Structures are given as structure tokens and as C-alpha cells.
Amino acid sequence: MRSEAGIPLAPSYGPADLPPPESIPPPGMFPFTRGNFADGYRGRLWTIRQYSGFGTPEESNERYRYLLAQGGTGLSVALDLPTQCGYDSDHPDVEEEVGRVGVALDTLADAEILFDRIPLDAISTSFTINGTAAILLAFYVAVGEKQGVDRSKLRGTIQNDILKEYVSRGTWIWPPRPSLRLIADTIEFCAQEVPRFNAISVAGAHFRDAGANAAQEMAFTLADGVTYCDEVMARGRMTIDEFAPQVSFFFYTHGDFFEEVAKYRAGRRRWARIVRERYGAKDDRSCMFRVGCVAGGASLYAPQAHNNIVRIAYEALASVLGGVQSMFTAAWDEPFALPSEDSATLALRTQQVLAHETGVTRVADPLGGSYYVESLTDEMEARVVEIMDDLERRGGMVKAVEEGYLHRLISEEAFRVQTAIASGERTVVGVNRFETDEDPPEVEGYEMDEKGRIRQLERLAEVKRSRSAADVRAALAALDAGAGGSENLMPLLVNCAKAYCTVGEMVAVLKDRWGEFRQPTVF
């Protein structure tokens, strides 16, 4: 018998399967197998951070202020695909997608509305943004300035992980090399000027959703993390301890319960060791693996869709027993549409019941010392190391991305799982066992309002009319010159943001310099 990632399993485990004691010191001690904090969730509960954002900045602002009034302390901003891919709302090719899977941001004017009456020094904001992450960070810094909040007080995260975009999520713009430079620029800028902001959230979640198994998800993600750290270290301007505490991670939790718990424990230990051994970190905080997760995604199924409620709850429990720092629980109707108000609320309640009723938060790392879980953690770490070594031997992540090697591995795994479900080798309740002849549920979903898109276009036109054309030209010219050299581009982007340049204009300048990525179409 094997786990979902193919780890062979014995019928039971015993004392001989435990790792040496130095691998599992108490929680809060290097290499943090048992968690980052000595008191687990007693000191601080994980952050319940539900992904939301839709339509226009006005609509999203209203939603955020509602969430904060309900006691929320963090926002998670969903951007629409044009903003993520670097197109303005008035670009002719993106008409259907404006404001659809998130909010549309074209200029600083939109960002000002999005955060209107939200004090940026009192909350933290997470942006799921990659290709245009540096530009969104520039907007955030500029909005803070307008509110009178110094950039040193801003808290939040930009995802800013382009490598997985090339492989599985798809919001790439430029080729890997210049993109890595821009990411290193943001990491440097945050370390020096926005010290409470996470410059990157290295995300394995999207590898997982595209088909990778748990070991591949962790290995690819850590390999990406290494690539970004290598890039910053190669500049020779900062030590690892100056920026590693601003690096965080993000994963999907799927259905194989103990394997997921082991994945987080193994990842924490491996990252801690990498940061100390490869980069010579002296500060233990640099070695901490700060991790957020999503429960749901590709582990959800359309037939008997209400079963997804149960799947999400188990996944949430596994995440917490794995020691995550923040979590987003998906809604059961995700296979059909964007969530309705009801399904989104139920997803939130799932976490609240787990946090406040089940008692799982009382003791740090409750599964620590379990013969099985410790052994599985070791096995998982060994596999992660093996996959990372393979990638390194092949010339590293960038090469694996450019050559389509990762695309192939992930497609193979997705196909293997699909075949196992089709043959009945893997059971999915309601899909290939215990099926019923029921119609898909009537899902309310979220219906787009065409008026919102029109308002967005009107505002963009108004901003373009009222801004100083000379300032725009000067800011873009400075960005262009900077991109041709090696200086940090962040101050130039902040400058562009303040001149009300559009996302599309900034992206176009850099595209002229750097070109565009072409994705391998392997299947």
C-alpha cells in the first residue's frame, strides 16, 4: 500500500521508525519540524484569510470594509486577469475578463478607491499577484503615502512568484531572467524600505492544482525558493538574514490526510536546513518556513458536490495539524462558479469551528512523536530532496521551466491520477463509487454586472485626461532607462504609480526591453 505521492506504507509503525532526536526538537526550535512557535496556536491562531475581490474597486472596497468591521484583520485581494497579465481594462482583447475573477486595477486612482477609509497601518493585505507584483507593490506604497502612512509601517504580502506561473498558473509576462531581476528588486526594496511586508510568497499551490503530488509540490516550491534566494545572494548586496524573514510560502492541502501533515512538517525542516546550510543564516528567524495554504481546489469534485464540504473540513484539519500560519478554505460550489455569499460564509465557518470548537489549538504539534507521522515526515523529506537534486542536476528551475520539463512531470502525474480514478484504483466518493443519478445542483454563483466594467472604463479615461502627460512621459522614460541598466526598479515604479501611469503602460515599457515569455505546450 502506498500514499498518494507513492510512499510505501507499512501496516503499522513503532519506535524503530522514529528519527534521531535532533530532527524533532521541541516546537519553536531549529529545524522547526514541530512548528515555528513553542506555544503553537496558543500565542497566535492561524490567520483566517478568505480570498475575495470582484468587479470594481468601489464594490471590493465596500466588501473589505464589511469584512474588517466583522473583526477581520487581514485582507486578501483577488485581482482580475487583465491586471494580473498587465493589460489595462480598455485593451480590446480583455473585454470579457475585466473585473471577473477579481478587482480591476488600472492606475493608482483605482488603488486609492480600493483602500479608501481602510487604514493601511492597522491591517495586513495579501495580493495574489505575480507578473505585475512589483507594480502592485508600488501602488500600495503610493496609497500609503497618500494616507500619510510611512512605508515602513505597511504590512502584507505580494505573491510575486513567477516561476510557477510559467508552469501552471499562467499570468506570466516577461521571460524568466528579467522577471527574476524584478523579483530580486522587490525583495531588496522590501528589506530596505518596507520591512514588515513579505516580498514574496513562493507558491506550490498551483503546481499541485495542475496535477503535482504532495512531494513534487513541496520540492518544486523549495527549488523555486532557492532560485529566488540565489538571485538575491548573487548580487552580493545583502546577507540572507537581511531578507529571508520576508520570504513566505503557499500550498494546497489535498485529501491524503497524514501525507499532508507530513508534507508541512517535512517542508519546514528542509527549508530551515537549506537556509542555514546553503546560505549560512545566523538568525533562526531566517530559517522559519512561514506558510499559508488553501483547502479545496482540484481535490473538489462536481458530482455530489456537497461532499466537498466534508473534504474541505478534513483538509483544513490536516493543515492545522501540519502547523500552517494562514488558511483559505474554498467553497463547496467552486467546481461550478465563483462562490455565492452562502457558500463563502460556510467556508469561513468551517475554519471557525475548527479553531474554536475542536480543541486542536490547545497543544503545539499534537501529532509530534507519532511513529507513523514522524516516519512519513522523514520519507517525505527524503523524496523532496531527491526531486530537488534531480532538478539541480538538470540545470535548475529556470532551465526546467524553459524546456518544459516541469510541465511534463506535472501532466504525467495529473494523467496518472485521472487513470487511477477511471479504473477505480483510487476511490472518489460520488464520482467512481457510491454514485447517484443526480443533476448538478442549481448554483447561484456570482453574476457579473456589465455596468461595473463601463464605470471602470470611464474612470480610466478620466484619469488619462486629467493626469499630467509630461509627468507620465518622464516617469516611463526613467523606467525604460532603469530597465536598460541594473539599478533597482522599485523606486522608478513608485514614481510611475504616482504619475498615474497605467499598469499596461508600465508593462509595455518593460516588454519592449525584455520581450515576452513563450510557454512550451507539452501535454
Partner 1 sequence: MPVRVLVAKPGLDGHDRGAKLVARTLRDAGFEVIYTGIRQSPDAIAAVALQEDVRIVGLSILSGAHVGLTKKTADALRSAGADDVLLVVGGTIPKRDVPRLEAAGAAAVYPTGTPLEDLVDSMRALSGAAQTPL
Q: Which residues bind partner 1 (CB under 8 A)?
A: 81-82, 84-85, 87, 93-97, 100-101, 165, 168-171, 209-211, 298, 301-303, 335-338, 411, 414-415, 418, 422, 439-440, 442-443, 445, 448, 519-521, 523
Instruction: Decide whether 342 or 389 has the Cβ nearer to partner 1.
Output: 342
Which H or E run includes 157?
Answer: strand 155-158
Instruction: Decide whether 205 or 476 has the Cβ nearer to partner 1.
Output: 205
Instruction: Decide whether 86 or 267 has the Cβ nearer to partner 1.
Output: 86
Of 1, 11, 31, 27, whose CA–CA distance to 378 is shortest?
31
Residue 406 and residue 221: Cα distance in Å, rounded? Answer: 12
* Smallest separation, CB 332 to partner 1 (Å): 13
* Smallest separation, CB 440 to partner 1 (Å): 6
Of 265, 332, 266, whose CA–CA distance to 295 is shortest?
332
* Smallest separation, CB 453 to partner 1 (Å): 11
Instruction: Decide whether 96 or 386 has the Cβ nearer to partner 1.
Output: 96
* Smallest separation, CB 301 to partner 1 (Å): 7
Instruction: Decide whether 422 or 481 has the Cβ nearer to partner 1.
Output: 422
**Cα end-to-end distance, the chain, whole Å:** 29
**Sheet hosting strand 197-198, strand order edge to edge:** 74-77, 124-127, 155-158, 197-198
Residue 26 and residue 33: Cα distance in Å, rounded? Answer: 9
Location of C-alpha cell 487511477: 420
Location of C-alpha cell 473585473: 99
Of 419, 128, 97, whose CA–CA distance to 250 is shortest?
128
Instruction: Decide whether 171 or 351 has the Cβ nearer to partner 1.
Output: 171
Instruction: Decide whether 151 or 206 has the Cβ nearer to partner 1.
Output: 206
Torsion angles phi and psi, residue 329, rounded to 5: -100, 130
* Smallest separation, CB 415 to partner 1 (Å): 6
* Smallest separation, CB 86 to partner 1 (Å): 10
Q: At what angle do helices 214-234 and 405-423 cross, to 10 degrees?
A: 170
Instruction: Decide whether 336 or 372 has the Cβ nearer to partner 1.
Output: 336
Of 137, 139, 211, 203, whose CA–CA distance to 171 is shortest?
203
Instruction: Decide whether 149 or 448 has the Cβ nearer to partner 1.
Output: 448
Residue 500 and residue 316: Cα distance in Å, rounded? Answer: 41
Which H or E run includes 382?
Answer: helix 371-393
Quote the cell numbers at residue 134: 512589483
**Identity of the residue numbered 234:** A
* Smallest separation, CB 170 to partner 1 (Å): 2
* Smallest separation, CB 505 to partner 1 (Å): 18
Residues 6+ apart with CB under 8 A from 330: 294, 295, 296, 297, 300, 312, 339, 347
What does R_g of the chain's alpha carbons equal in angstroms?
23
Quote the cell numbers at residue 384: 523532496
* Smallest separation, CB 258 to partner 1 (Å): 25
